[in-house]
Amino acid sequence: MQIFLDRHNLDGFLFVGDSICDADMYYLTHFLAGDRFAALAQEKTTLLVSSMETGRAEKESIADKCLSTSQYKIREKLKSSENWEEAYGQMLAEFLQDHSIKHLGVPFRFPAGLYQHLIQDFAVTVLESPASRFRAIKTIKEINAIADTQRACERAMRQAIHLIGSCEPRGELLYHDDMPLTSEKVRSAIDISLLEDGCETMDTIIAGGLQAADPHARGTGPLAANAPIVIDIFPRSKSSRYFADMTRTVLKGEAALEVEEIYEAVCLAQAEGLRAVRAGASGKEVHSRVSEVFRDQGYPETEGQGFTHSTGHGVGLDVHEKPSLGEAGEILEVNHVVTVEPGLYYPDIGGVRMEDMVVVKKRGCENLTHFEKKLVL
Amino acid sequence: MQIFLDRHNLDGFLFVGDSICDADMYYLTHFLAGDRFAALAQEKTTLLVSSMETGRAEKESIADKCLSTSQYKIREKLKSSENWEEAYGQMLAEFLQDHSIKHLGVPFRFPAGLYQHLIQDFAVTVLESPASRFRAIKTIKEINAIADTQRACERAMRQAIHLIGSCEPRGELLYHDDMPLTSEKVRSAIDISLLEDGCETMDTIIAGGLQAADPHARGTGPLAANAPIVIDIFPRSKSSRYFADMTRTVLKGEAALEVEEIYEAVCLAQAEGLRAVRAGASGKEVHSRVSEVFRDQGYPETEGQGFTHSTGHGVGLDVHEKPSLGEAGEILEVNHVVTVEPGLYYPDIGGVRMEDMVVVKKRGCENLTHFEKKLVL
């Protein structure tokens, strides 16, 4: 952090937000809070939290110092200003002065209301948060945490695939215990498995039939027989806060030749994408390679059809973080953790996606996903 | 919204963020997305989402129009700028010009990086988000959604209290099936109950013994016998996205006279607080009344001890939202939904808190919490 501050000629870098939504703040403080607090990164890190949170912050956070908003008389300021934002801005100004700040850095996502207030008294530079770059490169401990979440993710995937595999195709639908199997039912089995493993997840994708033609469709209602079902699970460990992310596509019943060919094309594109991942290559190069494999196999991207998204993204305290494996993909570095997840989508067929999560190495990558790839159950 | 725009002489109000963390954006769009998008509120509401999300946004959102970032050539902009924030800012500027924006409003939490970009081409005013005020006042449908989440919350509370009640106090600890009962075990029972009811929760408080002296302590390890255990559950419905929030304090074993007296004082303070809630009263008045009851009973607040937090807060798409029942508490309006949650905390005794959730009415309030208050199990 000190090197970053020196390079930009800053006396400190200030974050204000909650650390549930702002993973940079959690990364720097290890203090998990749903209510807004401030973290000032200098040579040491100082938190400014409500008096109610000071005890917990002192116990749980890795910051060097925890100050309470009551030391800055936030209540009195609130009484006189009757506007939370102004009172909070005044308090921040005093807090920054106490820490000898003249030149201050804030991240792109810093609240504009407070930015407006602080530029009255400080030279404020808005910069990309250095934490976003720091945390893209994982320690061994972080990689182990991600791998642990991935194991839970795979157990949940196993439950989902087992449930689909145990169905009977009747007409256009899949039946389980004489009832049509639904996306909701599969999602529920995944949720319970993840909960047992201490993980949570918000929005698992179980999209079958034509629903899967939209890569972000969550999936709802009865699942189709003889059609690919995309299962994309991205849980977070409640204890470590680290995510994992994986996707498989399965089909129960008879696969049309066209679907089998699409599935093979996605597998090949993924294998080539994985082969292209190594420190020094750019995310853009990996993405170009995957796009090229699709084109070569006769699946060019056309507006809204084919391979319509980027190849992958970093995974860590956020499910989508740096680096990107897409059009603007940065240079990959050792111990980046990224997904490689090509897919093909057609409105009249549905979709197929395959996603593994890997650690970038000097020569190549290490796949953290240990799960077979098999279309027809 | 149009009245708000006219009053501030604005051509539109722009939100940029993700609607998982920004409840205002979810409220205005009903489009749930973990990745950043833009929502422009004018007479009509227009979304600007990635091409991958356009299909889902058109299906799920209540916005009048959904545009894709690919229409604004975001990929080409990324290629030439090599900086996501700048490319996004350029795109936003074009988008705003297409919507005849000259005077633009943005909320306090609008990202400073984009704010800096937009002030080059537009007259930008940073204001409190109007949505935060709109959504504090609930429709009948919203109140029903909150009440539904509250029913799930109560079923989970029942499980937790049943588990604690079925324990045997041995020495200083509670035993269940010959094993010490832990905060984690109770939390897990709550999690499973909530999941079965389609709810999720992040951070249930199960704090016993001296841990409960810190009102925000999550609670960990074996639970003490003969000492109050604070159970604070605040789940969100996965389908409606609405929260509920309730707290009970229970004790298994023998209660010291001092603890019983504290419990009675909290019950009385809560009853008086609930009596003070009605449209036209301010949150500040309710809070003052509760503080007064505590003082009158011989429990004055001293730094870090006694009644150390505010009386309550609004509940809705956020677990903490407007209005506040504290020092700066606004005037309460019909169909605000608020908690009334006094507590007393002492480092050598522990803590007691009692929380109900009510709908503000013209004369008084309607309690959405249907759950007994009983200390000793």
Task: List, in order of start, the domains of chain A with CATH numbers.
Answer: 2-134 (3.40.350.10), 140-367 (3.90.230.10)
| Record: contact A203-B32, CB cut-off 8 A | yes
Question: Model confidence at B34, in pLDDT bands (50, 70, 90)?
Answer: confident
- Best mutation target, A26, A108, A127, to test chain B (most B CBs within 10 A): A108
pLDDT at A82: 63
Shortest Cα–Cα distance, A195 to chain B (Å): 8
Across A152-161, B232-241, B300-309, least confident range: B300-309
Quickly count: other Cβ atoms within 10 Å of residue B194's Cβ. Answer: 25
pLDDT tens for B89-115 read 999 999 999 999 999 999 999 999 999
Q: Are strands B179-180 and B173-176 parallel, antiparallel or unpaired?
A: antiparallel
The kind and range of the H/E element at A350 are strand A350-353
Question: How would residue B327 be classed by pLDDT, with cut points 50, 70 and 90?
Answer: confident
- All residues of chain A having their beta carbon less than 8 Å from the beta carbon of residue B19 are none
Per-residue pLDDT band for B301 (boundaries 50, 70, 90) equals confident
The answer, yes or no, to whether residue B83 has pLDDT greater than 80, is no
In chain B, the residue whose alpha carbon lies closest to the alpha carbon of A35 is: B320
Q: B52: distance to nearest CA of chain A, Å?
A: 7
Q: Which token pair is A76?
A: 């009195």
pLDDT score for A129: 92
Mean pLDDT of B35-63: 93
Interface test with B, best of A60, A115, A183, A200 (most B CBs within 10 A): A115
Contact between residue B208 and residue B228 where contact means Cβ atoms under 8 Å apart: yes
Q: Which residues of chain A have pLDDT under 50?
A: none
* Residue B124: how many other CB atoms lie within 10 Å: 24
Minimum-distance CB partner of B106 among A112, A114, A309: A112
Chain A: closest CA distance from residue B5 (Å): 18
Q: What is the pLDDT of residue A344?
A: 97
Q: What is the pLDDT of residue A79?
A: 78
Q: Which chain A residues are Cβ-neighbours of B328 within 8 angstroms?
A: 78-79, 82, 84, 87
What was the pLDDT predicted at B94? 97
d(CA A247, CA B180): 40
- The stretch B207-233 carries a mean pLDDT of 94
CA dist., res. B111 & res. B257, Å (int) = 53
Residue B75 pLDDT: 81
Q: How far apart are CA B322 and CA B314, in angstroms?
A: 5
Structure tokens at A115: 């930015």
Matching residue, tokens 């808190």: B353
At B149-167, the pLDDT tens digits run 999 999 999 999 999 999 9
pLDDT confidence tier of residue B363, bands split at 50, 70 and 90: very high
User: How would residue B80 be classed by pLDDT, with cut points 50, 70 and 90?
Assistant: confident
Pick from A21, A195, A309: CB nearest B52: A309
Which of chain A's residues have a Cβ under 8 Å away from the Cβ of B107?
Answer: 112-113
Residues B107, A113: C-beta atoms closer than 8 Å: yes
Evaluate whether B118 touches B152 at the Cβ level (below 8 Å).
no
* Orientation of helix B183-196 relative to helix A183-196, angle to 10°: 180
pLDDT of residue B82: 63
CA distance B239 to B199: 8
Residue B377 has pLDDT above 90, yes or no: yes
pLDDT at B289: 97
What ipTM does the predicted assembly reach? 0.87
Q: Which residues are CB-neighbours of A52 under 8 A, at least 6 positions away?
A: B215, B216, B308, B309
CA distance A57 to A65: 9
Q: Cβ separation of A107 and B128 shorter than 8 Å?
A: no
